[in-house]
Structure formats: C-alpha cells, structure tokens
Structure 1
Amino acid sequence: MTGARSSAIESQELKDLRAAVAALGQRHGRGHDREVLWAEAAKLGYLGVNLPEEYGGGGGGMAELSIVLEELGAAGCPLLMMVVSPAICGTVIARFGTEQQKRTWLPGLADGSRTMAFGITEPDAGSNSHRITTTARRDEETGGWILTGRKVFISGVDIADATLIVGRTEDARTGSLKPCLFIVPRDAPGFQRSQIDMELQAQEKQFELVLDEVRLPADSLVGDEDAGLLQLFAGLNPERIMTAAFAIGMGRYALARALTYARERQVWKAPIGAHQAIAHPLAQAHIELELARLMMQKAAALYDLGDDMGAGEAANMAKYAAAEACVKAVDQAVHTLGGNGLTREYGLAALITAARVARIAPVSREMILNYVSHQTLGLPKSY
C-alpha cells in the first residue's frame, strides 16, 4: 500500500505517470515543503498535465491530473491547490477563455509560476447556486464590469495571483440573473480578504472575500456572457473528480500507516494484523477505496471524452464514494494504532478532521444524494 497502486484498466502511459508521481511523493513525504514540492511537480510537468500542449501543458486530461493528486496524497503530501488552479480554473479558461486569456494564464498555471483561486461559495447561498448574490453590472464609463458581493471558504487566495469569481449578470432580455465567471486580480481595488480561523490543519488557508465595487476590464469575463451554467459546470465536474482523488490519496496514506503498524505491532503471540478484528476492517477500507477509484476513473474518462452530462453523474458519485471511503479508512487507521493514532508522531490524528472535508466540500454528500435521486433515479424534488 505504500507505493503506486496502478489499475489494470490504465494504459501503460498512465501507469508510468502514477509510478513517477509516487516516487516524487515518497521523496517529499509528510513533512514536505509545499513551495518546493509545487515547484518540482511543475518542473516535471505534473501540474499542467491536463492543459493544452500549445499553452505549455501536457495535453492530457482529468485522468492524468487525478493520478497526480492521488499519488501525492498517498505519499502524505497532497497539493490542495491542484484542485483549484489547474483543474477548475485552467480547465475553464482552456475551454472557454479568449485567446488572450489562454496565453496570459495557461502557461503560468502549467509551469506553476502562477496560480488561481476559485470563488463560488457564499455565506447565505450554501449549495444553492441560484441564490448567489455576487452581481456584476456593466461599467458605463469604461465598458468593463463592476462586481459586488461576498464569498466564503475560498482556498489559497493569499497565494493566488487571481481568483476566478462566480458572479451573476442580468439578462437584458428577460431581466433574470445568470451565472458568469470573472478573473479578479489579487490586488484589485475593493477586493478584500480575511482569513477564517479553521481547526483544519492545512497549508492552504481559507478566506472570506468582500468585493466592494471591484472594477474590472471587459476582458475579465471568461467565456460567453450568455452561456450560464454550461461554463460553470465545466469547472465543477473536474472539482468533484479531483476531490475524489484527494480523498482516495488521503485514505490510502492512512491505510498504509495502519498496515505497517498492524504487521509490526505484537502484543500476544502474533502481530495484531493477524487478528480478524483488525484485519477485516482494514480489508474493507481497502476495497472501498478501490471501488471509489474505479468510479473516479470513469468520471475522468467521460469528462475527457467530452460527455459533460455523463461526467456530471459519475463525478458526483465518485466524490461521494471517495469521501465515505476516506473517512472510514482514516477512522480505522486511528483505531488500529490505538493511542498512537492520536499522536503527532504517526500523523493520523489531523486526518480525522481533514477527511471530513471531502464529505462537505465542494458539495455535501446530502446534495449529491439529492442529485442522484433526481437526475439519475427520476424521483421528484422536495425543494
């Protein structure tokens, strides 16, 4: 469980990528320096593996990028900003950005010299994207845009060069509000951030944002003003796939620590791993992680094939399955180690909180169950 866990359904190229990233993760490990690891992963082409080759990327897709994040997580050094910068923002700009936006941002996102955060969640909107109140109106003087609103639980804004903000513009024909995406530079006047005090131990911090009459040029709008949800979900599906990869990697890391301990720890005549009360729950955790990975691979394959509808369903299921498997693996790992599972030496106690993040973000497991019951099973809505 300590090395790369390639799948029989992966091509040799993907297996080689998995092994190479696993080796990188093992060199850095749990006590890694985030900036050093980020720079090395970028130099090796892993950060931009999903971005187009003509803009400095690797020309791959979510299948490749999810492998990178999973293997780094399995080595104890996940890079959370990979979920945001290349997966969400890079994908949206590559698919819908202007030529100038692509040339401005994609090479930097690919080589790690630039990063971008993603801002969608709001204090009063929760999982209801239709209640987003961040609005963008035309600046009559410049022809650009003026953004006003608030965002919360936005990762890595302090280290990002810009944030891709989800706002809403008014449809001139119907008067209704529709979602649109805007690139907001970190130092834009009126763009304020305050760090949220989190129990979660993570190198990437969480922020609340205030957009107070932030004036942006016309070319800050990404994609078509009338595309609405199409462009938004182009970023949200990769986010779910990458969250699954993050959770699977974390679960594998915890399980590997537990297995090493169970093989070596001896209280009676045999190591504790010989006892079924220890062995069977660990075996179940492994099975559930492997099953979650299969769904993640399906979601990535569908997304890379351009099947957005199919990918949406699979990405939600993958995120749900991976989060549940991760929580179970972490809990069982802690129980396997007993008191040692709560010490800093073994590095598992912090994962008790971290594992719950995958259940909550970017969308709660309850909302995923709503999605599946409505979209897949055809059951009526209660809201």
Structure 2
Amino acid sequence: MTSALLDTEEQRALRAAVAALGARYGREYFTTVTREGRHTDELWAEAGKLGYLGVNLPTAHGGGGAGMRELSIVLEELGAQGCPLLMLVVSPAICGSVIARFGTDSQQQRWLPGLAAGTLKMAFGITEPDAGSNSHRITTTARRDAATGDWLLTGRKIYISGVDIADATLIVGRTEDARTGRLKPCLFIVDRDAPGFHRQLIPMELAAPEKQFELVMDDVRLPADALVGDEDAGLLQLFAGLNPERIMTAAFALGMGRYALGRAVDYARTRTVWKSPIGAHQAVAHPLAQAHIDLELAALMTAKAAHLHDSGDDAGAGEAANMAKYAAAEANIRAVDQAVHTLGGNGLTTEYGLASLLNAARVARIAPVSREMILNYVSHQSLGLPKSY
C-alpha cells in the first residue's frame, strides 16, 4: 500500500514478517476457528512469542518500545491475510496504552509483560445500555468502603468484546467528587472471576471468534489499587485509550478491505465469460479501482493519526484518529461490497469466504463510535460549528 512508503526500514520489515505469519494461517484457519466456536489461540500465541502483540508497549515490561503505528501495522497485515484479531484493538492498544501511561508500578508489572507476550488478555468496558455515545450518561459507579478503603463497583455494560477470554476487564466507571458532588470518570481493573462480576453472552448475527457480552456488576469489591492512575484525571486517561481504539479500528478495517479487494482482483483477472477476463470490462474494473483508491487514502490518514499519537499530540491525534476510523470504515464497506458483487453468486458461497465479511465490515462503521458521531466531532471540533445537543 502507499502508506507503506511512509514506513521506516524497521516498519517495512515488521509489515513483511507479520504478513508472512498471517499467510501461514490464512482465512481458512480463521473461518474454521469461528465455525467451531473456538478462538484464534494458536495465532495469538505465536504472534505474542514473535513480539508482535506488544510492539507498542515499553521495553522495560517486555514490549517492543515502538508505538501505535507499529501495532496498527500488525493488525492491518493480519487482516489483509484474512485473520483480523479484534482483541488487538482492546488488549494491547486500549488497555496496554492506558496502563503503560497511567498505571501504577505494580499495575504495570502485573499486566504489561503478559499483555505483550499474549499470555494475558484484557477487555475494555465502556458502553452501557443507556449510555452509548454519550459517556456523560454512564451510570456505573464506584464508591469507597470507608472501613477498608476498597472500592465497590455497581453497574452494567453492554457489547463488551472477549470478556470470556480476558483475564480482566478495564471498566470505565464514575466516582463522586468530594468537593462538587459531581460524578467523574475513573478506570478500574476488574478480574474476570471477581465476586459479583457477571457476564451474559449476547447472540450476534456476526461470524467472529470474539464474542460480545453484557456485564452486570453488583457491588463488586475491588482493592484500592484497582483504580488506574489518578482519580482526578479520568477523562485524560480515558481519551488516552480511545485514540488508540480508533486508530486500531481503522487498521482493522483496512486489513479486511485489502483482503476482500485482493480476492476480487484475483477473480476478475481470471474469470472469463466472453472473450476476455471480466476485469477487462470497465464496469468491473473501475469500482475495484475506486475501492483501492479509497483504501489507500484511508491508510494515509491512519498513518497520520498513529504518528500524531506516538509523538504525544493528543489533540491532533484525536481529530486524525476519528477521521481515519471514518475513512477506513467507509472504504472497507465499499471494498467488501464490491468484492462480493464482482464474484456474483460465488461471492455468497462459503468457498470464497467473502459473504461473511458483509456483516463484519459494518463493525468498524458502528463501533467504537458511529459514523454520525464522528461527523458531529469533526463539525464541532474541526469546523467550529455549533452543537444541536
């Protein structure tokens, strides 16, 4: 891809190595695991041993010491080989970034080496039934037990990925400000088996190894050191995880779009109905060319967002990450749709494996924030237009 021209020599080597790993597993492995109700444990473990899962985490804790640019390359290249690992968005990108930046020494020592090696996973819980895009309506609350100093966490979360395979979940809750009485966001690490921490599988019309869950927390007792970072810096800590989430969602979409486009181009080169392959006909070729252009442009914005994040420009990264996620999600949907259309009836068969992407492609458009909310963000933050809400 054109964005690879922006890569350093080390990043190009990483891209090639991850692509080779993904090719050894391939789409058939991914679909088989999904169909059998298993997880991509073998691929995850090997990627961890090779250092790919923790490429963005500090070297002091077993990571690669690089940044979100490198981690996004890992996810994109695996996706381009038909193996998009959704937990890469959650575990090393969101949770790893937050803990590496704001976690206590003990939290970093407890979690970062395992997240980097792939031997530990962490989920991320922010969305609630009545608080989707409006984080100000989050009702999950934490209160201090005056006698012990423990936290008591109560609330609900919904559409939380991979809770069943995660060792803990980084939960976004709210605590009361002693001075103002207002609730402020805070982040808590909740072990999977904590008493009162319940999960319920959400049936989804989506073929993916990672499952979605509703969480119910009923006075979950957490030690004082379950709080990540400073109680008064919740928003800053929260956005430190949300920018990587958007960048990695863009990478997720780019990889999937590249995979679908590649299958369609291969088919169009060889499928002959009349005198020449169907790819010679402009009605087939031009939409594929447009899909390629859209993916290339989205990849450039994703690279920009990752660069801004890695350079410490949180405000610039916020704008670029939202734009990258929007552009990549839209490009992905168009690429997948056109790929299926190019193959005609074959595009809906299990053999060619594209039809399952029709639903999967919409994940990046819907989550972690809808395209409409990104347009709101850009119109308000970038263009300075007034809010209607």
Residue of structure 2 equivalent to 1:344: 350
Residue 43 of structure 1 aligns with an amino acid whose one-letter code is K
CA RMSD of aligned residues (A): 0.8
| CA–CA separation in structure 1 for the residues paired with 2:351 and 2:217 | 42
Q: Pick from 4, 7, 25: which aligns with 2:4?
A: 7
**How far off is 1:13 after superposition?**
0.9
For 1:29, which of 26, 31, 50 is the aligned residue? 26
What is the CA deviation profile of residues 177-203 of structure 1, one whole-angstrom value per residue up to 9, with x for unaligned ones?
Answer: 000000000000000000000000000
Aligned match for 1:47, one of 46, 53, 68: 53
**Letter of the 1:183 counterpart:** I
Q: Which residue of 2 aligns with 1:60?
A: 66
Q: How does 1:183-198 map to 2 (within 5 A)?
A: 183-198=189-204
TM-score by length of 1: 0.98
Q: Is the 8 A contact 1:6 1:18 kept in 2?
A: no
Cross-structure match for 1:132: 138
> 1:228, CA displacement in angstroms?
2.2
CA distance in 1, matches of 2:366, 2:84: 18
Name the residue aligned to 1:104. 110
**CA separation in 2, counterparts of 1:141 and 1:322?**
50
Question: In the alignment, is residue 80 of structure 1 matched against residue 77 of structure 2?
Answer: no
Aligned match of 1:167: 173
Report deviation, 1:78.
1.0
Look up the SS of the partner of 1:356 in the other structure.
helix
> One-letter code of the match for 2:28?
G
Determine which of 330, 350, 357 is the counterpart of 1:324. 330
> What residue identity is the alignment partner of 2:139?
T
Report the Cα offset of residue 141 of structure 1: 2.2
Q: Is the 8 A contact 2:340 2:355 kept in 1?
A: yes
Q: Which amino acid aligns with 1:111?
A: A
1:334 matched to which residue of 2? 340
Is 1:367 aligned to 2:373, yes or no?
yes
What is the aligned partner in structure 1 of residue 150 from structure 2? 144
Alpha-carbon distance in 1 for matches of 2:5, 2:91: 29
State percent identity of aligned pairs: 79
Cα distance in structure 2, aligned partners of 1:114 and 1:256: 33
Please state whether the residue corresponding to 1:159 is helix, strand or coil: coil
Shift in Å, 1:218: 0.1
For structure 1, the 5+ residue unaligned runs are: none
Question: Is 1:212 aligned with 2:209?
Answer: no
Deviation of 1:31 after TM superposition, in Å, equals: 2.2
Partners of 2:227 and 2:3 in 1: CA distance: 40
Alignment of 1:232-243 (within 5 A): 232-243=238-249
Shift of 1:370: 0.2
TM-score by length of 2: 0.97
Deviations 1:274-325 (A, max 9, x none): 0000000000000000100000000000000000000000000000000000
| AA of the residue aligned to 2:330 | E
Cα deviation per residue 1:21-70 (whole Å; 9 max; x = unaligned)?
A: 00001000012251100011000000000000000000000000000000
Report how far residue 139 of structure 1 moved.
1.2
Q: Segments of 4+ in structure 1 off by > 6 A?
A: none
For structure 2, list consecutive stretches of 5 or more residues without a partner in the other structure: 34-39
Q: Distance in 2 between matches of 1:348 and 1:168?
A: 42
Does structure 2 retain, via aligned residues, the 8 Å contact 1:6–1:15?
no
Work out the CA distance in 1 between the residues paired with 2:3 and 2:133.
Answer: 34
